[in-house]
Structure 1
Amino acid sequence: MHTDGGCRPQRHGLLSSHLQALLSSDPSAAVVEIRELFRDVSLPCKFCKRRVDVCATRETVSDQNVAKRELDRLGADLLADWLKCPSMLPAILLLLLPHVLQAMQGSYAQVSTSPFSNETTTDREALLQFKASLSQQSAALVTWNTTSDFCHWPGVICSLRHRGRVSALNLSSAGLVGTISPSIGNMTFLKILDLSFNMLQGEIPSTIGSLRRLQYLNFTGNSLHGGIPDGLSNCTGLVNIMLDKNNLTGEIPSWLGGFTELVALILSKNNLTGSIPPSLGNLTSLQALYLNNNQLEVSIPEDIGRLSNLQWLPLYANRLSGMVPENVFKLPAMVAFGVDQNDLHGALPPNWGNNQSNLEFIYLGINHFTGNVPASLANATMIDTIDLGVNNFTGMIPPEIGTLCPVIFSFDSNQIEASSTKGWEFIMPLTNCTRLSVLSFRYNMFAGELPVSITNLSTNLQVLYTGFNQIQGSIPPGIGNLVNLQKLFLSHNRFVGVLPSTIGQLKMMRALAVDGNLLSGTIPPSICNLTLLQRITLDNNNLEGSLPLCMGNLVATLSRNAFAGPIPREIFNLPSLSFILDLSNNHFEGPLPPEVRSLSKLAYLNISQNNLSGSLPETLSSCQSLLELHLDGNSFNGSLPTSISEMRGLAMFNLRNNFLSGAIPQEFGRMKVLEELYLAHNNLSGQIPVTFQSMTSLHQLDISFNHLTGLIPMEGVFAKSTGFLFVGNDGLCGGVQELHLPPCPVRSRKHRGMKHQLVLIIIVVSIGSLLCLTLTLFSYSRWKKGSHSTTLATTERSFMDHKYPKVSYAELLQGTDGFSTANLIGSGRYGSVYKCRLSLKAVETEVAVKVFDLQLSGSSKSFEVECEALSKIRHRNLISVVTCCSSSDSKQNNFKAIVFDFMPNQSLDKPIPGLTLLQRLNIAVNVADAIEYLHNNCEPPIVHCDLKPSNILLDADFVACVGDFGIAKILSDSEDVPAANSKSFTGIRGTIGYVAPEYGEGGHVSLCGDVFSFGVLLLEMFTAKAPTDAMFVNGLTLQRFVEMAFPDKLMYIVDPVLLTTDETQKDPWRVEKGCCACFGNSSTDDL
């Protein structure tokens, strides 16, 4: 119901009585109308087991014999379907009518031999004026001229009874660009007017009110703006009004309530405001009322409950409030009831579902409904989908609900409960439902044990979500019966016992989450059977023993368990381990195996807080794709291997709380993309390498509580103090004033003249005392290991406290109304963005606040990376930071947020009605300017690494700004690597579909990667197809899709709402060719 593909119920089955009347009065007009109704639509999926070949309705039928053959070909199959489902007879008959009518029209065309027989000039002139109002010539109108009979023009149907008068104008998907001419009102015999899916702009002309015979009006999928014209109130004979997918504003006119013949009113996906007029309750013939995706407010009028024939009522994604009238719930003919994503409240009627045998779809999610789910709903036996998620429902799910056998049953995020003795009864009748595909009841109050009957659910079940409840007991072994499960989330309950070995029978599994429970024992070897598994989360349990050698998946998080013994060397040889390996907070011991070198594609390795010891293996340098390496909280000793400096893609390196000694290698200064380095609480000595000054990406350096000495550098990254910690090193001196360290001693010329003598003495003494020093260090190391837990320092202050002191958590909390969902703009990988009002410099200002979810790994780093990166770059097409906040929330948890300028048009991934080709080109130029600045005007160059529509923000004038620098990379200095070919090693960076192919193979970050992403972005802008759309399978990609259409078929793939008046419209292939030029088979071919 919430998609435009598949079945469009309002486009068929609604006009049978209207078409019967039209057949007798104007058969030729009926041809156009019926063809439009079935132009791109099949019969309802619910009733027919297969899709009907709709192309048959578009075939040219020249005589009665051909028509009869078509009837015979389709009739048998359709009749078989009808016998299974008699309610589809009207729709089937309608599908067959075009063949008969086309034959009639063909016979008429043969009779009319004179090209100008009985025509009038009024409609000819009106049509030519309509053509003249278009700013771009359409191929469909090439034959519209003064020398041919306009009754034979494409899209024009003249009346059989009134010769020379146009009864139907059907120019759907004709590539029309421009405005609708007021002359349209001169064709007063029009009954059908279809200009849908073009690129028309401007307002709907008021002269349309002169079309008093009009019965079918369709302007769907254009860029029309303004209000619904009052002149339309004269067209009281309208049966269908389709104005959806435009940019219409204003209120819904109350005079629409006088259209007593109206069967379908489709106004969805506009910017309509105000309330739903109560007068719509007078439309007693109405079967479809689509008002979704607008900005309608106030409550749903009780008058809607008088529409006894209403079947389709999508009101979702508005701002409706109050209670839904009981008579609206109980509309007897209702098929789909969708009021989700509003602000509605109240309880559901206790007898809802009685006498509603047609009800199939219920969407109530994301509201404030309360009370119990009524058992009477079980009487609506045709129900297909029930979505009650994100409300305040209480009580228990009635057992009768399980008898409905829906395909989708979701009631996440409520207060529905169950206990060990009752509340689970609804599961048993669900076991008889072979269609059940999704069952989800996360974030509720389910307790007791998971009933064994859940293992007898349909083998067609693909999704089972029970997370974030209080379910106890063991995971039933019979879970392995659900052989088609793809997602199983049992997280954050109180499951005990072992992970059953039958889990290995779920060979279709792609995501398995059992984290946050009390599971114990070992991981069963049968888990190796899950060859399609992409994500497994087992952390925060009591699992122990060794790891199965097959535990190599895209994501493997096994932290906070009780695994012990050495880390299996074999686990490092798994080629499928290509993204995350988290073994932290366990009891692993022994050395880090040298086989770690095999993790050449891994992006994140965390083995912190274990009992690992020994020296760091030199083979670590082979992990060229690592972005983050966490080795803190172990007992590693020895010196830091200089080979680590070869890990050029490493962004975060944590070695806190170990027993490392020796000097920090000067070679670490070559790690140009290193952003965070934590070496605190070790035994490091010597001076801070001066090479660190050139590490331009470094914004967090913690080398506190070591034995470092000498001068703290003052140039490069050391010119600021924020984010750098040196405490606990008594031998350090100098540095910038903000460090408040003592100045280094100033030596006289005499002392400087004795330098060489002193050095010679030191060398001699050192040779004599080397053995003693070695023994001393060894003894001290043993002493430190024994007393390590007593030397931890006080809590570190956030480096952002000094840099961004202007806004507090309390101000952000107040400015966002407690981070309410009403102010939620969007969500990303590391947090959410809210609209907020702040007092900045005594001026009330609307801003956007990005709040980081610090429970997610990498979010804290992303916060610091983004603050640092955005503080260094300035460009009109790059998002700018207003301020930052690093504090604690009301529960004393860490809180981090960034405040940006507010972008009223949000991001490019949101639907923007009426976005013209010229605007899209300007946005593309804006993005290109930003990339050019990052690549060529920043020294060293910056690679964004995640160019995609959601990271392109639009201001009030549709000027684009590139945002989200949370994973950006700064490349090598120009003296090391030429800017055009500068690369650094990295792992997978970016978003699937937009990331360069070689990144997924452990390739290098390069400027070409951004160019590739930019090319994908351009193609999506001009085709309105995302690279991750479901159509792109079996080797077909967005790039290939465009290449196949180039150059002769571009008009079939271009976004139909594009609008332009510039030269580009004459050669649209140049745009697509330019997009395709941004990538070849890989981004290295881009330039």
Structure 2
Amino acid sequence: MRYFNLAENNLHGMLPPSLYNWSSLAVFDVGSNMLYGSIPDDIGCKLPKLERLGLGFNHFTGTIPSSISNISSLISLDLTQNKFSGYMPPTLGRLAALQYLELGNNEIEANDNKGWEFITSLANCSQLQQLALYKNSFGGQLPGSIVNLSTTLQRLNLHDNRVSGSIPADIGNLVGLELLVIANTPISGVIPESIGKLVKLIELALHNNSLSGLIPSSLGNLSQLSILSAYQGNLEGPIPASLGDLKKLVVLDLSMNYRLNGSIPREIFKLPSLSRYLDLSYNSLSGPLPNEVGSLSNLNRLALSGNRLSGKIPDSIQNCVVLESLRLYNNSFEGSIPRSLTNIKGLRILVLTMNKFSGNIPEALGSIRNPEGLYLAHNNFSGSIPLVLQNLTSLSELDISFNNLQGEVPNEGVFRNITYLAVNGNANLCGGTPQLHLPPCSIRKNKKKMPKSLVISLVIAGAILFSLSVILLVWILCKKLKPSQKILAQNSIADDHYKRIPYHALLRGTNNFSEANLLGRGSYGVVYTCILDNEERTLAVKVFNLNQSRYSKSFQVECEAMRRIRHRCLIKIITSCSSVNHQGQDFKALVFEFMPNGSLDGWLHPKSQEPTLNNTLSLAQRLDIAVDIMDAVEYLHNYCQSLVIHCDLKPSNILLDEDMSARVGDFGISRILQENTSEGMQTSYSSTGIRGSIGYVAPEYGEGSAVSTPGDIYSLGILLLEMFTGRSPTEGTFRDSLDLHKFAEDALPDRTLEIADPTIWLHNGQQDNTTSIRIQECLLSVLRLGISCSKTRAQDRAPTRDAAAEMHAIRDAYLLFAGKRIGEHGGPRLETFELE
């Protein structure tokens, strides 16, 4: 038998040893199954005539036996995506007929001391065409001998390894290369000038590494190049105009090279072959967007975000007739949105956030056929929101926040069910859906004379309404003579939506309030998990402490607070219980939604565990949680009918849902202000005693000042500092004049990374210089916000609305960069270079 091919047959188990006894086999292929086991040590003796060995996409383990070098007829060796480990045999060069060596996605090793010898020996394989080493444990410096491989080599793939050092200067010797991938590695140094000799190159991927220096102008010699991907590195200087000679280029991605500067060469915009995407975002490019951009008639996606570009968008952009995504976030573009832009009927994503655009939002945007996301925030747009936007049925995200818009927000069509709508930061907007929490629009007086019949009808209606008002007033006065206001407040939670639950139902649901169901203890009560009769979902029950003299007041306050508030970032109450227990004692409890990921405190300070990816928070998660907390506090301070001061913002009162979204809870000592006045030093009807927890309570509360929104902001600032430094304000390090606020303030900006919570880095993996800079910028911004919020004097603290807007901006800016290019504001990521 010469051929044994069982590839792609869903086979399980271990191969029978007898299969290796067919010494006449030329093809042995069992790839793409679920087989395991190892390669026999003597395979070179058992299968001496083998030409093709295919074991890829299985679960094989062990090392690659050195006897495989004895199969002189071997043409193809495919071991892709298994769990092979150890070092490659240093004698592979004996395989004179070898053309394809596929080792990708294994655990094969190499370092500066051992393991790279096989590369040197492969120089003897004069027919080698493909060498795939990606996703292994190859480390140490890339050996210079790699440039001695055969000139017949067409594909060299090294991505996702720990290869360091520099790309050998003579890489241009490999003149047969059509694909070269050295990405997602710590490799450094410059891109060699000799790379311009690889004139057959079709795809070049050098992204996500530490390559620095200038982009060599010799790249313009690669006349066959289709994909050039060199994003997220340390490249610097101007983009060479010679890239305009790459007449077959389909993808150009040089984004996230912070030191790339100068203007964008006009020659690049004259490449009609650019069709998939052009991404030059997050560099330091300056100057205008050249009028030649209109030459990119085949381009699908253009990303220029995060630069220093200025001027107006040229009208010629209307010639980009197939453009689907235009991202100009965070530049200095100005002027109005050109009407010509709306001629691009297929535009799906338009990101103009954080520029200097002005004028009205053009009605012509309604002529775009199927837009999915429009992001116009942080500009100087004025006028009203065009009603025609209601008709964009495909629109799922619209961000027009922080402009100078005015008038009524539409509430019909797409505005009724849009996934994401942001209008905050426009002081003169009104109306819209209730979820926006905007003030109602005033009714304009009609200056025309009313018809006489209408006047008579209004007079009669007014008389009827007056009579009904008198009757209602008498009824209210009678009712007030019955139960006291305190009882009403206490029972206010038990309305039609929240029917009271009997004590025995909670007793059964918590297994008699057993320790096994205990979630935690607080000042005013104990919290248990609970599953009610005929319910499948788990709930949380807060049982108020009968031995605490103020438990009844706490229950009343929390009931009243929870009755008034509804927000996605606040803990949701399900029902309540005010009864007697089996001993005849008063019993009071509240039932809340259950938060499966516990409190924020448990994630910031994991107990008796080594920090791991599974019990700590990434930077992105912390930013999302901080935004949720800010949104909740802004709602309490600015959008409740009666303003609510939480009074106890701290990590143990922040609960995390299954998706790690945050909920602010525990309103047991909150205060409700009599009216929702403008932000500042509002006071409540009762303010005796210090309100809050040690370390988080505002300094003025200790001096007898009334509770206020700045008091909550102080706690919020300390909470932010704790979230991003990992240090509790009550830890022993802080004594005398040193507290968490001063600790952070003294460290910025020079020691930002030093004071950051070290568990953040567990989630960040390998970091190049650019990534470290962006992370440092993000941490610096959020710590400065924490410091601004926790200043000693209440009048010096950031107002709630400003603090929330700043936190959103910090989070959004980080996600745009460190979200691995998922896309601005949740938009789809630009298509990436697909590696093997």
1:89-113 CA distance string (max 9 Å, x none): xxxxxxxxxxxxxxxxxxxxxxxxx
Are 2:53 and 1:289 aligned?
Answer: yes
Residues 715 and 393 of structure 1: CA distance in aligned 2, closer, same or farther (over 3 Å)? farther
1:428 deviation in Å? Answer: 3.2
Aligned match of 1:181: none
1:757-789 CA distance string (max 9 Å, x none): xxxxxxxxxxxxxxxxxxxxxxxxxxxxxxxxx
Aligned match of 1:322: 86
Aligned match of 1:929: none
1:532 aligned to which of 286, 289, 298: 298
Counterpart of 2:124 in 1: which secondary structure?
A: coil
1:271 aligned to which of 17, 34, 51: 34
Aligned match of 1:623: 392
Aligned match of 1:413: 184
CA distance in 2, matches of 1:300, 1:574: 56
Counterpart of 2:35 in 1: which secondary structure?
A: coil
Aligned match of 1:555: 325
Are 2:47 and 1:250 aligned?
Answer: no
Counterpart of 1:638 in 2: which secondary structure?
A: strand
Are 2:313 and 1:522 aligned?
Answer: no
Aligned match of 2:203: 438
Are the equivalent residues in 1 in contact too, given 2:5–2:28 (CA < 8 A)?
A: yes
1:572 deviation in Å? Answer: 2.8
CA distance in 2, matches of 1:345, 1:446: 23
1:304 deviation in Å? Answer: 1.8
Are the equivalent residues in 1 in contact too, given 2:63–2:84 (CA < 8 A)?
A: yes
Over the residues paired in the alignment, what is the CA RMSD in angstroms? 4.6
Are the equivalent residues in 1 in contact too, given 2:79–2:102 (CA < 8 A)?
A: yes
Give the TM-score, by structure 1 length.
0.42
2:98 aligned to which of 321, 331, 334: 334
Counterpart of 1:352 in 2: which secondary structure?
A: helix
Q: How many residues align?
A: 511
Are 2:170 and 1:400 aligned?
Answer: yes
1:424 aligned to which of 192, 202, 205: 192
Aligned match of 1:186: none
Residues 326 and 817 of structure 1: CA distance in aligned 2, closer, same or farther (over 3 Å)? farther
Aligned 1:362-373 pairs, distance under 5 A: 362-373=131-142
Aligned 1:62-461 pairs, distance under 5 A: 215=1, 239-282=2-45, 283-328=47-92, 331-346=95-110, 347-349=115-117, 351-377=120-146, 378-405=148-175, 406-419=177-190, 423-430=191-198, 433=199, 435-457=200-222, 459-461=223-225
1:396 deviation in Å? Answer: 1.7
1:408 deviation in Å? Answer: 0.7
**What one-letter code is carried by the residue in structure 1 that aligns with 2:279?**
A
Are 2:380 and 1:611 aligned?
Answer: yes
Aligned match of 2:366: 597
Residues 538 and 481 of structure 1: CA distance in aligned 2, closer, same or farther (over 3 Å)? same
Counterpart of 1:273 in 2: which secondary structure?
A: strand
Are the equivalent residues in 1 in contact too, given 2:621–2:660 (CA < 8 A)?
A: no
CA distance in 2, matches of 1:531, 1:712: 62
1:953-977 CA distance string (max 9 Å, x none): xxxxxxxxxxxxxxxxxxxxxxxxx
Counterpart of 1:354 in 2: which secondary structure?
A: helix
Are 2:277 and 1:507 aligned?
Answer: no
1:586 deviation in Å? Answer: 0.8
Aligned match of 2:597: 806
Aligned match of 1:184: none
1:803 deviation in Å? Answer: 5.0
Counterpart of 1:499 in 2: which secondary structure?
A: coil
Counterpart of 1:358 in 2: which secondary structure?
A: coil
Aligned match of 2:420: 652
1:280 deviation in Å? Answer: 1.3
Are the equivalent residues in 1 in contact too, given 2:48–2:72 (CA < 8 A)?
A: yes
Are the equivalent residues in 1 in contact too, given 2:260–2:283 (CA < 8 A)?
A: yes
1:301 deviation in Å? Answer: 2.0
1:707-751 CA distance string (max 9 Å, x none): xxxx9998889999x9xxxxxxxxxxxxx996843979xxxxxxx
Aligned match of 2:408: 639
**What one-letter code is carried by the residue in structure 1 that aligns with 2:305?**
D
1:218-252 CA distance string (max 9 Å, x none): xxxxxxxxxxxxxxxxxxxxx22222222323223
CA distance in 2, matches of 1:268, 1:474: 47
1:802 deviation in Å? Answer: 6.9
CA distance in 2, matches of 1:487, 1:717: 58
Are the equivalent residues in 2 in contact too, given 1:808–1:885 (CA < 8 A)?
A: no
Residues 991 and 485 of structure 1: CA distance in aligned 2, closer, same or farther (over 3 Å)? closer
**What one-letter code is carried by the residue in structure 2 that aligns with 1:525?**
N
1:606 deviation in Å? Answer: 0.6
CA distance in 1, matches of 2:121, 2:395: 56
Are the equivalent residues in 1 in contact too, given 2:168–2:192 (CA < 8 A)?
A: no
CA distance in 2, matches of 1:591, 1:343: 58
Are the equivalent residues in 2 in contact too, given 1:638–1:659 (CA < 8 A)?
A: no
CA distance in 2, matches of 1:259, 1:417: 48
Residues 566 and 335 of structure 1: CA distance in aligned 2, closer, same or farther (over 3 Å)? same
Are 2:267 and 1:497 aligned?
Answer: no
1:150-187 CA distance string (max 9 Å, x none): xxxxxxxxxxxxxxxxxxxxxxxxxxxxxxxxxxxxxx
CA distance in 1, matches of 2:498, 2:261: 51
1:535-563 CA distance string (max 9 Å, x none): 11110011111112326620111101111
Residues 365 and 811 of structure 1: CA distance in aligned 2, closer, same or farther (over 3 Å)? farther
Aligned match of 1:45: none
Counterpart of 2:156 in 1: which secondary structure?
A: strand
CA distance in 2, matches of 1:451, 1:401: 14
The runs of 5 or more residues in structure 2 that have no matched partner are 444-491, 501-536, 540-555, 573-591, 632-655, 663-722, 727-755, 761-826, 832-836
Aligned match of 1:571: 341
**What one-letter code is carried by the residue in structure 1 that aligns with 2:226?**
Q
1:886 aligned to which of 661, 673, 698: 661
Identity %: 27
CA distance in 2, matches of 1:484, 1:364: 28
Are the equivalent residues in 1 in contact too, given 2:407–2:429 (CA < 8 A)?
A: yes
1:449-490 CA distance string (max 9 Å, x none): 111111121x22100011111111111112111011000000
Are the equivalent residues in 2 in contact too, given 1:252–1:277 (CA < 8 A)?
A: no
CA distance in 2, matches of 1:650, 1:393: 47
Aligned match of 2:561: 741
Residues 655 and 811 of structure 1: CA distance in aligned 2, closer, same or farther (over 3 Å)? closer
Counterpart of 2:395 in 1: which secondary structure?
A: coil
**What one-letter code is carried by the residue in structure 1 that aligns with 2:184?**
S
1:66-101 CA distance string (max 9 Å, x none): xxxxxxxxxxxxxxxxxxxxxxxxxxxxxxxxxxxx
Are the equivalent residues in 2 in contact too, given 1:536–1:556 (CA < 8 A)?
A: yes
Aligned 1:1054-1073 pairs, distance under 5 A: none
1:921-972 CA distance string (max 9 Å, x none): xxxxxxxxxxxxxxxxxxxxxxxxxxxxxxxxxxxxxxxxxxxxxxxxxxxx
CA distance in 2, matches of 1:358, 1:476: 35
CA distance in 2, matches of 1:497, 1:645: 45
Residues 646 and 540 of structure 1: CA distance in aligned 2, closer, same or farther (over 3 Å)? closer
Counterpart of 1:246 in 2: which secondary structure?
A: coil
Counterpart of 1:572 in 2: which secondary structure?
A: helix
